[in-house]
Amino acid sequence: MATVIRSKISNKLSNAATTVTNKSQAKVSGMFARLGFQAATDEEGLGFAACDDLDYDHRQGLQMDILKTEEMGGEGGGETGVEGDSHYQRDGTGPPPSASKDGGLCSELGSPDKPKITAWEAGWNVTNAIQGMFVLGLPYAILHGGYLGLFLIIFAAVVCCYTGKILIACLYEENEDGQLVRVRDSYVDIANACCAPRFPALGGHVVNVAQIIELVMTCILYVVVSGNLMYNSFPNFPVSQRSWAIIATVALLPCAFLKNLKAVSKFSLLCTLAHFIINILVIAYCLSRARDWAWDKVKFYIDVKKFPISIGIIVFSYTSQIFLPSLEGNMQKPSEFHCMMNWTHIAACILKGLFALVAYLTWADETKEVITDNLPSSIRAVVNLFLVSKALLSYPLPFFAAVEVLEKTFFQDGARAVFPDCYGGDGRLKSWGLSLRCALVVFTMFMAIYVPHFALLMGLTGSLTGAGLCFLLPSLFHLKLLWRKLLWHQVFFDVAIFVIGGICSISGFIHSVEGLIEAYKYNLAD
């Protein structure tokens, strides 16, 4: 009884203190307004008030937990409150944030049952995303961009590192104590917060559409590159590239039965190590021909028509923003996120630049869209078989993520779901739900058959969704949510990135579509 009375008295005192604080803040705001400083708008004031209400409710919940613990006879309730309050610290390891609205893969990664990861483990995940198979298309970007292409590899690394950091900054707000609170959990939550209150779900729909397009296009690229590599590895076989793509799709049909990623996660490390070995083999072969390097072929002029496609290729090779919010939320020390982003992107920039330059110097104007196609036939088959294995084992990850987003958006969104739930009461996937998954695999096959152009598809995806998710949206969201806290140089960077990203996105998209039309019209080979 004494505890309950003590709690009520503390609540009244805290409410009185909050009222006095609000009045003093109003006086200070009025004084600054008379001095010429801009005051917060009504909409911003409501937003901060909502954050304060959420913070107050959270603290009240902690107090009720303490009371329940004491009533059960425990004296350790105070320690529980302290641990729960550490959620407000940037380095805290307290209770995880609430489940993300978009659910799916991000909520699985951010589940409280999952162990926290170190900065090195987080860096390994980012490295897997930005050092994947699509590095094989970078020498083709140097072919049409020369030294400017090398500069763009460095520039894209710097910009993507910066936008990844500001995207994570949009997850946080300050509470009344001046401490950072993680009030958002995902890219979709950030987008919805920017479009509120008039269109609270519009931003999430835009991000979901961009995610689905990028994930499905990634799956298509894996099928395209598998068919391309097999065809060039065994040119004497009476099997066309399209037929190899169909064979690869047959091997990928079991992906429709995936319930989680445990079945394929055990192969991720092996795939990554194999890819690094392949890169080393390619670079070693190029170094063996260093005497024949064509330095005179690397020039400062650009192919105006094809260089925008190269921009999309470079941007697409750095895309990792989709899963950064869930990754940062899963880190043991979120304060190490910035350092992790720095060294991963510096390493990626150095490795990509060296790989692209060395490969281009070796083959110069004969550089192909997939650089391993330039290797001698004696080692090409072995290297390409490793790459095909990696492509097939990498396909389930974007496929499963795309399925999760589609199912959450159209089949599992409660009363707002467009279609009935594709899972039965026992949690098993219904037959028609399985058919839709198989249809998605077959769709990627048809796209790979009718548009078998790796570099053009990669440039189109990078220009359409890569630039949007990596350049445009993070800078726009950062300006919208943290405008009043940004310094002038931060505003300048955000606006510059948005403008440059928009120009590159539009030009790259137009030229990629023109390239695809031309290739389809004249039936050009890769």
Distance of CA 386 to CAs 226, 230, 337, 349, Å? 10, 11, 33, 24
Mean per-residue pLDDT of the chain: 76
Mean pLDDT along residues 83-91: 35
Mean pLDDT along residues 161-167: 95
Residue whose entry in the numeric block shows the structure tokens 């490793």: 386
Residue 55 scores a pLDDT above 80: no
Return the structure tokens found at 434: 């399985």
| The pLDDT of residue 427 | 64
Q: How far apart are CA 344 and CA 342, in angstroms?
A: 6
| The pLDDT of residue 2 | 53
Residue 1 scores a pLDDT above 50: yes
| The pLDDT of residue 97 | 40
The CA angle 113-129-429, to the nearest 5 degrees, is 50
Q: Which residues, 6+ apart, have CB-to-CB distance to 450 below 8 Å? A: none
| The pLDDT of residue 412 | 62
Q: What are the pLDDT digits (tens) for 244-296?
A: 999 999 999 888 887 765 655 555 666 677 777 788 888 889 999 999 898 88
Choose between 61 and 191: higher pLDDT: 191
Torsion of CA 47, 496, 209, 161, to 10 degrees: -90
Residue whose entry in the numeric block shows the structure tokens 């031309």: 518
| The pLDDT of residue 121 | 83
| The pLDDT of residue 386 | 82
Mean pLDDT along residues 304-321: 84
Q: How far apart are CA 430 and CA 418, in angstroms?
A: 17
- Amino acid identity for residue 236 in this structure: N
DSSP, residue by residue, 349-383: HHHHHHHHHHHHHHHGGG--SSGGGGS-HHHHHHH
Q: What are the pLDDT digits (tens) for 411-458?
A: 765 555 556 666 666 667 777 778 888 899 999 999 888 888 777 788
Kindly report which listed range (4-13, 345-354, 422-431) carries the lowest average pLDDT score: 4-13
Residue whose entry in the numeric block shows the structure tokens 């070693």: 284
| The pLDDT of residue 491 | 95
| The pLDDT of residue 53 | 42
Residue 516 scores a pLDDT above 90: no
